[in-house]
Amino acid sequence: MMKFSIESFFIIIALIIMSCSLAVIFSESTIHSIIYLVLSFLTCSVFLFILECEFFALLFLIIYVGAIAVLFLFVIMMLDLKILPRNKSTNLKYTMFGIFVGLNFFYFVDQTFNAYYESNPYVDNVLIPNIHINYFNEDEISEIAVIGQILYTQYVLQFLIAGVLLTLAVIGVCVLTLNPRGIKQKKF
C-alpha cells in the first residue's frame, strides 16, 4: 500500500489550481470561465487551510468567491454575452507571447529565491501551529475564534450593516434583471 503524505496532497492541490487557472483562460464560454475561477479560488482556500492560515483561507472564500466571482457572474448574466468565434492565428501569437513572458517570470522568480532564500530552517517542520494566545486568560485559541469574538462583540453593528447592504445589493441585481412585462429588449 502506498503511503499518502502531505507533500503529495500539496502537489495534487497545486495541479488542480493550475488546471483550473488554465481552464479559465482557454474556456470558450464566459460562464464556464467564472465557474473555473471559483473552483480555483476554492482550491486555493483549501491550500491555505492545510497550511493553517485559517484567516486568509476564509478571506479568499468571502472576498474572492463570495464577492468578486459572484459579481463577475452577475455582470456576465446581465450582459447576456454570447460565444464569439476565435481566430486561430491571433490565438497562437498571443499564446506564444504569454509562454515567453511566463517563462521569463518564473526564471527571475527562481533566481531571486535561490539568491535570497538558500537555507530554510523550517524545511522539516512546515506545518507550524498557528495559535493566538489570549494573555488575559492564558488560553490558546485559534485566530478564527479571536476574529469571531471581536466581530460579534465590538463590531456587531458594523457587521450587521454590511450584511444588510450585501443583501440589498443581491436583491437589487435580481430586480434589475427581471422583465415583468415580457418586453423585448433592444440588442446592440
Q: Which residues pair with 133 in a beta bridge?
A: 140
Domain ranges of the chain: 7-81, 142-181
Which residue matches cell numbers 507571447?
Answer: 97
- Name the pLDDT band for 135 (thresholds 50, 70, 90): very low
pLDDT per position as a tens digit, 42-97: 999 998 888 878 888 888 888 888 888 878 877 777 776 666 666 666 667 788 88
Cα–Cα dist 6/138, whole Å: 31
Residue range 169-185: average pLDDT?
A: 73
Residues with Cβ < 8 Å from 110, sequence gap 6 or more?
Answer: none
- Cα Dmax for the chain: 68
- Name the pLDDT band for 139 (thresholds 50, 70, 90): low
Check whether 115 has a pLDDT greater than 80.
no
Check whether 129 has a pLDDT greater than 50.
no
**Run of H or E residues at 107:** helix 88-116
pLDDT of residue 42: 92
Lowest average pLDDT, out of 94-103, 125-134, 168-177, goes to 125-134
- Name the pLDDT band for 127 (thresholds 50, 70, 90): very low
Check whether 122 has a pLDDT greater than 60.
no
**Run of H or E residues at 34:** helix 30-50
CATH, domain 7-81, list 3.40.630.10, 1.20.120.1200, 3.40.50.300, 3.40.47.10: 1.20.120.1200
% of the chain exceeding 70 in pLDDT: 73
Mapped to the 3 state alphabet, what secondary structure does 43-86 carry?
Answer: HHHHHHHHCCCHHHHHHHHHHHHHHHHHHHHHHHHHHCCCCCCC
Cα–Cα dist 177/187, whole Å: 15
Is-contact 122 128, C-beta < 8 A? yes
Whether the model pTM is above 0.85: no
